[in-house]
Amino acid sequence: MIRPAVQDSITKLVGNTPLLRIRLFEERHPGLEVYAKAEWFNPGGSVKDRAALAMIEDGERRGLLTRDRIIVDSTSGNTGIAYALVGAAKGHRVRLVMPANVSAERKQLISAYGAEAVYSDGLEGSDGAIRLVRELVAEHPERYFYPDQYNNPANPRAHYLGTGREILEQTGGRVTHFVAGLGTTGTFTGTARRLKEHDPSIRTIAVQPDDAFHGLEGLKHLPTAIVP
C-alpha cells in the first residue's frame, strides 16, 4: 500500500487511496463504523483515474492505441479529466465529447492537460455525448481509439483489481456494506464483485438519482438513460 518516495510518472500515483473514517454517523449509531474511500487523492482528483488508466493501458497492450490514433470518448467531466491527464503523461492526443453545460472548472482542467473538447447539446446530458462520440467514430474509425468507458471491461476490472482489493486490505476484510453511485457502473460492479468473492453476505448498494433531470454530473438515472 505504501508508495515509493519517488515515482517516474504521474500514472504511478493512481490508486492506493486512503480510507477516511466518518465519525458523524458513529455519534448517532454507537458501534457503527463508516469509511469513505478518499478517491480525491488520485492525481486527477477522482475515482475515474483508475478506469481511464486501465482502459488506456489495455488499449496499448492490445495494439489498439498507437501514436497515430486519438483517444476519444464521451464524458460528463471526471473521466475526461482522467483521460486528459493520462494521455498527457503518455504522449497521446485526447479528444473528449461532453455536454456543453459541464462546469467551467472541468472544461478548464481538461484544456490545461492539452485535450480537445467537443461539446454536445447540454439538454441531452451524457446520453447526447455518447451519441455524438459514436457518430465521430463511425465517420473516421481509423482515426480514433475509442475506449467506450460504458462498455469496456477494463473499467470494472480496474476496481476489481484495485479498489475492491484495497478496501479489503484496509479494513482487514471487515466489511458489511458497500455503497456507490452509478454512472458507467464500473466502480460499483468491479468493487462489489471483489468484495462478494471475499464474503457473499456483504450487501452492495447502488445509488442513482431519482429523476432524469437531476443535475448531478457523472451519475445516471438508468430508467431514462442509455444503460451501460
Give the residue numbers marked as catalytic. 48
**105 touches 84 (CB < 8 A):** no
What is the C-alpha to C-alpha distance for residues 133 and 98, in angstroms, rounded to an integer? 9
Q: How many CA atoms lie within 13 A of 141 on its CB side?
A: 2
Using the structure block, give the residue that is written with the C-alpha cell 481509439.
Answer: 145
**26 touches 33 (CB < 8 A):** yes
Alpha-carbon torsion, ordered 50, 53, 54, 56, to 10 deg: 150
Show Cβ contacts of residue 192 under 8 Å, excluding neighbours closer than 6 positions. 164, 178, 180, 204
